[in-house]
Chain A
Amino acid sequence: MTASTILVHRHTLSSRIAITVALLLLAAIPTMPFWASSGQIRLIIELSCLIAIAQMWNLLAGYGGMVSVGQQAFIGAGGYSLFVLSVYAGLNPFWSVPLAMILPALLAAPSYLLLRKLDGPYFAIGTWVLAEVFRLVTGNLQVVNAGSGMTLRAMGQFTAHQREIGLTILCALLLLITVGGTFLMLRSRLGLAMTAMRDDPVSAASQGVNVGRMRFGIYVVAAMGTGLAGAIYYMAQLRISPSSGFDPYWSSICIFIVMVGGIGRLEGPIVGALLYFTATRLFGHYGASYMIVLGLLTLLIALFSPGGLWGLFGKLRDWPWFPVGHRLEYRQRGDA
């Protein structure tokens, strides 16, 4: 019916470079115990967990339209799963890490059914209340040492070097699953639906997208990714307590990283996490005044660049790292 053939491009030069660099960096992380200091490794573990948790929050808020201030519920649930599996079932902590995604998923499914009728701010408050309930319940459970928290003694069977090797491998896998997995999901048919929902859920439903089921799936997947990051983070800490695992500060960090980096873009949380992480290392010792500056920065970006730093950069140069879009090119046929 048309006189032209078409080509659909998905990658760009910038994305090929960025993805190659990203894979090389990921491969480099597990080699760190052989050349980097323990301090540097700790920093990379923390940064990996931040990126993963922020990317999951971006998936939830940026694509699913569900602004949660209670993702600490799943950080805590993932962390506690690991400790309980190790202490009570005697499992090797490293092998327990993937199992730590089960409890967050089991908690997320009924939580979503409770929260799904709530919209916007009510949803946010609902997630917060739920996270507080998890914190209070954990703080009163004698099996997990109530308010005093748990220690991961099983790590004592490994040398410091072995722990570092295990943790760096886990961090590389964490980033591969959360960032790489989100990338692959967004490029698929489901990603098309998620991006449409981000822009207009009513239109998306009238074009055949089951918005309710998509949101449920996103909520559960985000909980699992967040729980995985929580398990790795607290494994590195060797200790978890209700007040740290279920700390609402986790959600503040998510909101800061994603809002400043760029919401609804894959690159946003990475940019935001790098900024937050660097700023905290450099200026963290200023304490309260540093927090005020971070708050003001969020406010300014929300007011003047709702697309975050990545959105600002995108206006200058269209160099995506992880392209999920489609560029259509018409080519006239040579013959008649």
Chain B
Amino acid sequence: MTYLFQIFNGIGIGMLYFLLAVGLSVIFGLLQFVNFAHGAFYLLGAYFTYDLVERGYSFWVAMPLAAIMVMALAALTEIVLLRRIYKLPHTFHILVTVGLALIIQEMTIIVWGPLGGNVPPPEGLNGVIIVGDFIYPEYRLFVIAFTAVLAVGLWWVLEGTRIGAIVRAGSESSENTALLGYNTLRINSAVFGLGAGLAGLAGALAAPIRGVEPFMGLEALGIAFVVVVIGGMGSYTGALLAGILVGVTQSVMASLWPEGARLMIYLGMALVIVAMPRGLLGRA
């Protein structure tokens, strides 16, 4: 029974990893841009939620508002700063986005202090569900259900709508997309904002589970890269599968051998890189 509990936890966390990774993956697909500031947007999503809840707003207002604020901030950053460096080599992407991540992290410490804090589970979901001798927090179940609906919705947008087709077309060739009359600069900003907004949403949803602290962004960045590498760059279902795999591994290991949880994940990534360099479901 303890394992069932851990597996459920792992799925919930894994779905948050999926939200993180899918944004990173879509941004890389469209812009060929490695965004090391992705974890910082997750950090901001969590802290915005924390701040709004502290100010007395309901979590149900704070969570979507935090995600939208992160989206707007990220789109602005793209317009002012990042679009100027796409054409430079990847080393410059790393330099600029790591710098951006550090600035955001230090700003967080300046504004909210180095200690972090807790976000209580939202009203209506602060109890537990009991089935037989299985006890599970309601909020974690909500996270699983909510992110599952979101995953399906996102998949539909990307694969089933005209807007999704335009984004996929842009990932293949922005020049050819422009020849059809699309302003690719605007599409880039929107997609960057959306990807970062998903990271912000993951942060907002994670806040009641794991609290907020200034270094959660760094940790999330590492996890997001692991998930993208295992799942395959640019693969939507790969990000979903790998997110859940990583979440469950981490969660189960936490009860078996806590010190080895991180080791297992990075070892798993190393194995995937050696055996399947494109990731589990990466495109040829």
Specify whether A and B are partners.
Answer: no
**B: which residues have CB within 8 A of A?**
none
